[in-house]
């Protein structure tokens, strides 16, 4: 547990996208064991539970920040087959390929322009990405652009980061401008109760206009 905790903190302490990419590349082989086994990481299951309530099984879905594919596995088990993985780390994507649940893979980072067409996806899911030292709040502008009108964006978000990193303002601003509307917000939960009990998340779901 101590080594796993050190790896997580080491990744959190990345100072830019390149360093974050390099550290995820190095962590990729141990990621599933560290998070699932050592930390009891449950955000993929919680996000999928929200996702299935709003998104048809035939949907064309982007897993933004797919990592090693833990979310993709949950979606595949729920009956989704048209899944695309995107992550800034090629090492993580290589691990995701071994899950055999995605149809396509793209190495890209959230926070800038995404090389996808406008209205390309029926839905987007992003888990464990909007957290300390990771994707910025303005990532939602591009995620909304590539999601079809009426489509869903479902994501996990640390409750402290929501207040401290501009997510509150970004989310409410997009709602006020008519870019999206809130479809569901869960109660707070501990996504890593075994390893980081002080960390709390919510799952949010927005419908794109």
Check if the beta carbon of residue 152 is closer than 8 Å to that of residue 206. Answer: yes
Segment among 5-14, 116-125, 134-143, 200-209 with least mean pLDDT: 5-14
Predicted pLDDT at 131: 76
Span 7-32, average pLDDT = 56
Residues 6+ apart with CB under 8 A from 59: 80, 82, 121, 122, 123, 151
Average pLDDT value for residue range 166-181:
98
Chain position carrying tokens 């390099």: 22
Q: Indicate the number of domains in the chain.
A: 1
Specify the CATH number for the domain of residue 30.
3.40.50.150
User: Is pLDDT above 80 for 40?
Assistant: no
More confident residue, 88 or 149: 149
Mean pLDDT of the 97-112 span: 95
- Check residue 12 and give its pLDDT: 54
pLDDT the model gives residue 1 = 43
pLDDT at 24: 58
Residue 10 in this model has a pLDDT that exceeds 50: no
pLDDT higher than threshold 50 for residue 170:
yes
Q: Which residues contact 146 (CB under 8 A, 6 or more apart)?
A: 62, 114, 116, 117, 118, 119, 120, 121, 124
What integer best gives the mean pLDDT of the chain? 87
Give mean pLDDT, residues 124-132: 89
User: Positive or negative, the Cα torsion across 2, 18, 140, 116?
Assistant: negative
In this predicted structure, what is the pLDDT of residue 122? 99
Widest pairwise Cα distance in the chain:
46
Using the structure block, give the residue that is written with the tokens 């995605």. 102
CA–chain centroid gap for 72, Å, is 11
- The pTM for the full model equals 0.86
Q: Give me the pLDDT at residue 192, please.
A: 80
Name the residue range of residue 17's domain. Answer: 2-208
């Amino acid at each position: 547990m101590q080594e796993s905790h050190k790896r997580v903190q080491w990744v959190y302490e990345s100072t830019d996208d390149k360093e974050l990419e390099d550290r995820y590349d190095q962590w990729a082989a141990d990621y599933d064991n560290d998070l699932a086994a050592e930390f009891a990481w449950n955000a993929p299951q919680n996000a999928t539970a929200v996702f299935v309530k709003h998104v048809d099984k035939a949907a064309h879905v982007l897993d933004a920040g797919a990592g090693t594919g833990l979310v993709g596995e949950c979606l595949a088990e729920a009956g989704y087959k048209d899944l695309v993985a995107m992550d800034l780390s090629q090492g993580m994507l290589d691990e995701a390929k071994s899950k055999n649940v995605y149809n396509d893979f793209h190495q890209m980072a959230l926070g800038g322009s995404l090389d996808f067409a406008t209205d390309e996806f029926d839905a987007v899911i992003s888990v464990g990405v909007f957290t300390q030292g990771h994707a910025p709040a303005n990532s939602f502008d591009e995620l909304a652009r590539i999601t079809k009108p009426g489509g869903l964006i479902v994501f996990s978000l640390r409750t402290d980061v929501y207040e401290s990193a501009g997510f509150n303002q970004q989310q409410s601003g997009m709602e006020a401008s008519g870019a999206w509307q809130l479809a569901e917000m869960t109660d707070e939960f501990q996504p890593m109760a075994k390893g980081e009990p002080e960390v709390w998340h919510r799952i949010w779901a927005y419908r794109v206009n």
